[in-house]
Structure 1
Amino acid sequence: MRVVAKFGGTSLGNGERINRAADSIATAIEQGHEVTVVASAMGNTTDELLEEIEYDVDEEDRAQIVSMGERTSVRMLKGALSARGVDAIFLEPGSEEWPIITDEYGEVDVEETTKRAHALAGQLKDVVPVITGFLAQDHEGNVTTLGRGGSDTSAVMLGKYMDADEVVIVTDVEGVMTGDPRVVEGARNVGEISVDELRSLSFRGAEVVAPSALSYKADDLGVRVVHYQHGDLLGGGTSIEGQFEKLIDLEETRLACVTIAGRAIRNSPGILGDLATMLGDEDINIEANSSGMDSLTFYVDAAEADEVEALLHDAVVSDDTLSSITVEDDIAVVRVTGGDLPNQSGTVNEVIDPIADAHIDIYDVITSATSVSVFVPWDDREQALELVQSVF
C-alpha cells in the first residue's frame, strides 16, 4: 500500500514524539508499504517565528523565515529514520526533486506538480522522502506557501498526485470527535465522517483537517486522522469518506416562505429552537431557515404552508416578543454545491449576479461552507437554473 503520512506540529513537538513518529514509519516500511512523509514545523515554531517579525517584510522574505520550522522538522525526522536503518531523504524548496510548484499567482501548478509527484512516487520502493509541509516553490525557485493549514494541503495533494492509497493525518486528537472533549463530557470518536460533513465543521472552527486540504480528496483516496500516541499508521482514528462534486440542483419541491417578525427576536435566546421544535413535533421538515435583526424565516414544503402558518401563529399570539407572521407561496431554490467553493473568491456573486441582472426577484441567499442556495419565484426557476448553469 502507498501511504502519505503527515505529522502535525504537536506530533513532532519534542524528541520523544519524533522517535515515536519514526517508529511508526519504520514499522510500516517493514510491513512492505511505500511511505511518503510530510512534516509540519515542530510545536508552535511557525507562530513563534511570525511573532518575531516586528518590521515590514516582503512576502518572499516572510516565506523564507516561516519555512525554517518545517526545514528543521524534516532534518530531525530524516535523521531519526536513518538511525533505524530506513533509507530516507529530506526534500525542501530548492531540492532537485521538490514536488509542489506554484504559478505566478501563487496557485498550485497542477500539471507540473503532478509530473513531479509521479516522478517522486517512482522512487518509493527504494527511499522514504520526508517533505516540508506548508511550503511550495514557484517556477523561479522562490519559496512560496500554501496558507494556514498548508501541511494538511501538502499531504492530501501529494496523496492525490502520487496515486497513494491513503493519507494519514497524525495529530493531537483521537480523530473527529462528537464534540470538543475539552468542553463536553463523553465526547467520542465518530469513526467515519463524510468529506462534506467535515468540510462544514472545519469552516466553522473544527481544527481537525484544514478545509483547503479536503478539496484534493478523491473518492478512491483514503484519508484518516489518528492520534500521535496511536503508533499505527495503518489503522484506527477517523476515516474521511467520499469526495466533493460540484452540483447545480433545482429543488423539485415547491416551497413556501414563512416569516415571523418581532422587534425582540435578536435578544430572545432559544426562540429559533422553540419554533423549529413546534414544526418538528408535527413532522414538518424545514428545508432551510434564515434570520434577520427582527425576523425569522422558515422555508417549508408549500403543501404544508397553511399548517405551518397556523402552528406558528399560535406562538405569535402567545409570545410578546413576536408581532406577526406572513407567508409567501410559490418559491423555488437553486443550489450550487462544491468542495472548492470557499476557495474561490466571488463565488456568491457569480451565482446571484446573473439572476439579478435578469431582473428575477431573489427572496433569500443562504450559504454554508460548501453550498450557495438562492430562493427565487417558482415561475422563474428554470431561467434561474439556466443562468447559474451558464456560469459554472
Structure 2
Amino acid sequence: MRVVAKFGGTSLGSGDRINRAADSIAAAVEAGHEIAVVVSAMGSTTDSLLDGIQFDVAESDKAEIVSMGERTSARMVKAALSARGVDAAFVEPGGEHWPVITDSHGEVDVEETTRRAQALADRMGEVVPVLTGFLAEDHAGSVTTLGRGGSDTTAVMLGNYMDAEEVVIVTDVEGVMTGDPRVVEGARNVGEISVDELRNLSFRGAEVIAPSALNYKEPELGVRVVHYQHGDLLQGGTSIEGTFETLIDLQETPLSCLTVAGRAIRNRPGILAALSGALGDVGINIDAAASGLDSITFYLYTEDATEAETVLHERVIDEDALSSVTVDDDFAAIRVSGGELPTQSGVVQGMIETLADEHVTAHDVITSATSVAVFVDWDDRERALSIVQDTF
C-alpha cells in the first residue's frame, strides 16, 4: 500500500517523539508498504523564526527564513530513518526531486506538480522521501509557501497526485473527539466523520486538519488522523470520509418569515430556546432562523404560519423582553453548500450582486462556515436558482 504520512510539529517536538515517528515509519516499510513522509517544523520553530524578524523583510526572504523549520525537521527524520537501516532522502525546494510548484499568482501549478509527484512516487519502492511540508517553489526557483495549515495541504495534495491509497495525519489529538477532552469529561474518539462535518468543525476552531487540505481529497483517497503516541501508521484514529461537492438546493415549499421584535432580546438569556421550543411543542418545524440585536426571525412552511403566529404572539404577551410579532409570506430558499465555497473570497457578495443586477431581491442571507441560504420572493425562485447555478 502507498501511504503519505504527515507528522505535525508537536509529533516531532522532541528527540523522543522523532524516534517514535521514525519507529512507526520503519515498521510500515518493513511490512512492505511504500511510505512518503511530510514534516512540519519541530514544535514552535516557525513561531520562533517569525519572532526573530524585527525588520522590514521581502516576502521571498521571509519564505526562506521560515522554511528552515521544515528543512531541519526533514533532515532530523531522514537521519533517524537512516539510523534504523531505512533508505531515506530529504526532499526540499531547490532539490532535484522537489514536487510542489506554484505559478506566478502563488497558486499550485496542478499539471507540473502532478507530473513531479508521480515521478517521485515511482521512486518510492527504492527510497522513503521525507518532504518539507508547507513549502513550495515557483517556476523561477524561489521558495514560496502554501499558507496556514500548509503541511496538511502538502500531504493530502501529494496523496492525491501520487495515487496513494491513504494519507495519515499524525498529530497531538486522538483523531476527532466528541468534545474537547481538556474541557469536557467522557470525550471519546469518533471513528468516522465526513469531510463536510470536519470542515464545519475546523472553521469553528477544531484544530484537527486544515480545511484547505480537504479540498484535495478525492473519493478514492483515504485520510486518517491519529495520535503520535499511537505508534501504528496503518490503523486507529479517525477516518475522514467522502469528498466536497457543491450542492445547490431550491426549497420546494413556500416559506413564511415570522419576526419577533424586542429591544431587550439580546439581554434575555434563553429567549431563542423559549421561542423555538414553543413552536416545537406544537409540531412546527423551523426551516431557518436568524437573530439581530433586537429581533429574531424564523422561516417556516407557509401552511404553518397562522398557527406559528398565534404561538409566538402568546410568548410576546408573556415576555417583557418582547414587543411584537409580524408575518410576511411567500418566500423561497436557495441554499449553496460544500465544494470550495468556504475558501472563495467574495462569493456571497458576488452572488447577491448578480441577483441584484437581474432585479431579484434577496430579502435575507443566512450563512454558516460552509453554506449560504438566500431568501427570495416565491415568484422569483426559478430565475434566482438559474442565476445562482450560473454563479457556481
Bin the TM-score by the shorter chain: over 0.9
Distance in 2 (CA, whole Å) between partners of 1:96 and 1:268 is: 64
Q: Is it true that 1:336 corresponds to 2:336 in the alignment? A: yes
Q: Which residue of 1 aligns with 2:7?
A: 7
Equivalent AA in structure 1 for residue 353 of structure 2: D
Q: Which residue of 1 aligns with 2:200?
A: 200
Equivalent AA in structure 2 for residue 268 of structure 1: R
Q: Which residue of 1 aligns with 2:290?
A: 290
Q: Which residue of 1 aligns with 2:79?
A: 79
Shift of the alpha carbon at 1:269? 2.1
Q: Report matched runs for 1:122-271 at 5 Å.
A: 122-271=122-271
CA contact (8 A) 2:89 2:128 kept: yes
Distance in 1 (CA, whole Å) between partners of 2:336 and 2:266 is: 29
Structure 2 unaligned spans of 5+: none
Q: Is it true that 1:57 corresponds to 2:57 in the alignment? A: yes
Secondary structure at 2:131's aligned position in 1?
strand
Shift of the alpha carbon at 1:101? 0.6
Distance in 1 (CA, whole Å) between partners of 2:120 and 2:278 is: 58
Shift of the alpha carbon at 1:339? 3.1
Q: Which residue of 1 aligns with 2:374?
A: 374
Secondary structure at 2:38's aligned position in 1?
strand
Equivalent AA in structure 1 for residue 69 of structure 2: G
Instruction: Give the TM-score taking structure 1 as reference length.
Output: 0.98
Shift of the alpha carbon at 1:124? 1.1
CA contact (8 A) 1:199 1:339 kept: no
Q: Which residue of 1 aligns with 2:98?
A: 98
Shift of the alpha carbon at 1:31? 1.1
CA contact (8 A) 1:214 1:339 kept: no
Distance in 1 (CA, whole Å) between partners of 2:364 and 2:119 is: 49
CA contact (8 A) 1:244 1:339 kept: yes
Secondary structure at 1:120's aligned position in 2?
helix
Secondary structure at 2:4's aligned position in 1?
strand
Q: Which residue of 2 aligns with 1:114?
A: 114
CA contact (8 A) 2:247 2:339 kept: no
Secondary structure at 2:299's aligned position in 1?
strand
CA contact (8 A) 1:39 1:132 kept: yes
Q: 1:79 to 1:282 in 2, by over 3 A?
A: farther
Shift of the alpha carbon at 1:258? 1.3
Shift of the alpha carbon at 1:307? 2.2
Q: Is it true that 1:318 corresponds to 2:318 in the alignment? A: yes
Structure 1 unaligned spans of 5+: none
Equivalent AA in structure 2 for residue 144 of structure 1: T
Q: Deviations over 1:194-243 (max 9, x none)?
A: 10011011011111111111111111111111100000111111111110
Distance in 2 (CA, whole Å) between partners of 1:283 and 1:58 is: 61
Moved more, 332-341 or 134-143: 332-341
Moved more, 33-42 or 330-339: 330-339
Distance in 2 (CA, whole Å) between partners of 1:14 and 1:61 is: 28
Q: Is it true that 1:306 corresponds to 2:306 in the alignment? A: yes
Distance in 2 (CA, whole Å) between partners of 1:105 and 1:177 is: 37
Q: Which residue of 2 aligns with 1:17?
A: 17
Secondary structure at 1:369's aligned position in 2?
coil
Secondary structure at 1:160's aligned position in 2?
helix
Instruction: Give the TM-score taking structure 2 as reference length.
Output: 0.98
Shift of the alpha carbon at 1:264? 1.0
Shift of the alpha carbon at 1:285? 2.4
Distance in 2 (CA, whole Å) between partners of 1:220 and 1:30 is: 25
Shift of the alpha carbon at 1:283? 3.5
Secondary structure at 1:363's aligned position in 2?
strand
Moved more, 345-354 or 163-172: 345-354
Shift of the alpha carbon at 1:165? 0.9
Q: Which residue of 2 aligns with 1:365?
A: 365
Identity of aligned residues (%): 72
Q: Which residue of 1 aligns with 2:278?
A: 278
Distance in 2 (CA, whole Å) between partners of 1:278 and 1:91 is: 61
Distance in 2 (CA, whole Å) between partners of 1:187 and 1:280 is: 29
Distance in 2 (CA, whole Å) between partners of 1:108 and 1:271 is: 48
Shift of the alpha carbon at 1:274? 2.3
Distance in 1 (CA, whole Å) between partners of 2:93 and 2:281 is: 58
Distance in 2 (CA, whole Å) between partners of 1:265 and 1:74 is: 55
